[in-house]
Structure 1
Amino acid sequence: MQTLNGKVAIVIGASIGIGKAVAERLASSGASVVITYAQKADKAEELIASIKNTGGKAIAIKTDLTQLADIRHLFQETIKNFGKLDILVISGSAPRVVKPVAEVTEAEFDYAIAFNAKGNFFALQEAAKHMADKGRIVTFSTPYTVQPQANLAVTAGSKAAIEQFTFALARELGGRGITVNSIMPGPTTTESFKDTISQLDQDFIAQNSPLQRLAEPGEVADVVMFLVSDMASYITGHNIHVTGGMP
């Protein structure tokens, strides 16, 4: 069984959903975990308490990924509290903008770019500065970058930027043994997915999946765990599909 004993991980966007599952998985494998949240302080504290109750080490830091000062503070506090950084997982994402191109507002466009593109870029920049050699970085993309959908241009475009940052950084940091990969989760039974997608649409999506169901957050977290473990030491610069066989 792979362990992360002695490792220090940052999980951005970990108070709920896939990020929460990732934080729990890394902590249960022995990593000290720094989780971030934007608004759900109560959920973050619940997660920290749960990790500590099972013998893990974790702290929560409020972080707005659109603010460079917050991003830098996050990495500084991680080093201050744990002395190093071995793993970065950026699971947080701006809310999906579901509108035709002709109807997207400047504010909606700016926020998606500020969070998904700018926020990810500068978090990756801080990781490049502070991460220990042989570290692991995992970003999150979306199936919409390879399977275009109407009304999702802003989400797909801002997430496509993340993929390109990931691929470039993999080449830049390879000499230090640091791997940088992206994963592309398909429809997953998170709180936000269930809140924004009707039950009828959820059933339709599940029926059209080769596996006849949606993903569970823990299944995505298992892929992250693989990528940050020694088992994936020769995998870098890739976008891993976790879509249950859907395009």
Structure 2
Amino acid sequence: MADHSITGKRVLIAGGAKNLGGLIARDLAAHGASAVAVHYNSDATRGAAEETAAVVEAAGAKVALLQADLTTAAAVEKLFTDTVAALGGVDIAINTTGMVLKKPFAEITEDEYDTMFAINAKAAFFFIKEAGRHLSDNGKLMTLVTSLLGAFTPFYSAYAGAKAPVEHFTRAASKEFGARGISVTAVGPGPMDTPFFYGQEAADAVAYHKSAASLSSFSKTGLTDIEDIVPLVRFLVSEGWWITGQTILANGGYTTK
């Protein structure tokens, strides 16, 4: 029977420098991962990646720092081949990368559209493709999306629209990779207490989001805390392997489909 624990597994985390990705890297190392590849996008996040790498090493895991702009297929392929070279293989692949844009539909430019789809859809597509090629049998694959996929809201057409294809990528990949025992999931947090959220929202919108979830009053911030998403991710890439082809909205009752 396949081993679905974290212990001894080799992990690749795209966007693993900070925020949710960084906490996932630290958590999986603390739960026994033998090696973690921490991807970061640019020099701007290298310092955070190095801090995460230090914590991962302190937990006893081997670590590799890998920098790449993942908006080309070649870059994503290289990320996986570099990870395999550094770690000896990949058992768990998690993509937390993304970019948010809050803007009226009529004001979105072609360049903004192209950027949003390159980061949120194209990079996700090729990450899933390369994971299918490089993951070991009985591997685990997860992509971070957004609970806006279950929302009826203005101003997020480009962001939510660019994340929406990942649901279809996830379903198709679960069917195609399932013969090798690979589970494929997507997780859509609600508005998270990270700079990723606050950079887009005015004070009135922040106040609304902090009260919109059913469990808002039980959150330390009123928003989705990254500490509440990490255990779900850990479960899906270990004992929760039987859940596959699914997009799970984890948002404290903020929205659903």
Aligned to 1:88: 93
1:1-247 counterparts in 2 under 5 A? 3-31=5-33, 32-39=35-42, 40-94=45-99, 96-212=100-216, 213-229=222-238, 231-247=239-255
CA apart distance, 1:163: 1.1
Aligned to 2:219: none
CA apart distance, 1:148: 2.7
Is the 2:141–2:237 contact (alpha carbons within 8 Å) kept by the matching residues of 1?
A: yes
Secondary structure class of the residue paired with 1:134: strand
Is the 1:100–1:151 contact (alpha carbons within 8 Å) kept by the matching residues of 2?
A: yes
Can you give the 5+ residue segments of structure 1 that lack an aligned partner in the other structure? Answer: none
TM-score by length of 2: 0.90
Secondary structure class of the residue paired with 1:132: strand
* Greater mean deviation of Cα atoms: 182-191 or 192-201: 192-201
TM-score by length of 1: 0.94
Q: Deviations over 1:146-177 (max 9, x none)?
A: 21321111111110011110111001111111
Is the 1:3–1:29 contact (alpha carbons within 8 Å) kept by the matching residues of 2?
A: no
Q: Distance in 2 between matches of 1:199 and 1:228?
A: 36
CA apart distance, 1:67: 2.1
Q: Distance in 1 between matches of 2:245 and 2:5?
A: 23
Q: Deviations over 1:51-89 (max 9, x none)?
A: 212322211100111022221111111111111111111
CA apart distance, 1:3: 4.5
Q: Distance in 2 between matches of 1:87 and 1:102?
A: 40
Secondary structure class of the residue paired with 2:248: strand
Percent identity, aligned pairs only? Answer: 33
Secondary structure class of the residue paired with 2:254: coil
Secondary structure class of the residue paired with 2:116: helix
Secondary structure class of the residue paired with 2:173: helix
Can you give the 5+ residue segments of structure 2 that lack an aligned partner in the other structure? Answer: 217-221
How many aligned residue pairs are there? 244
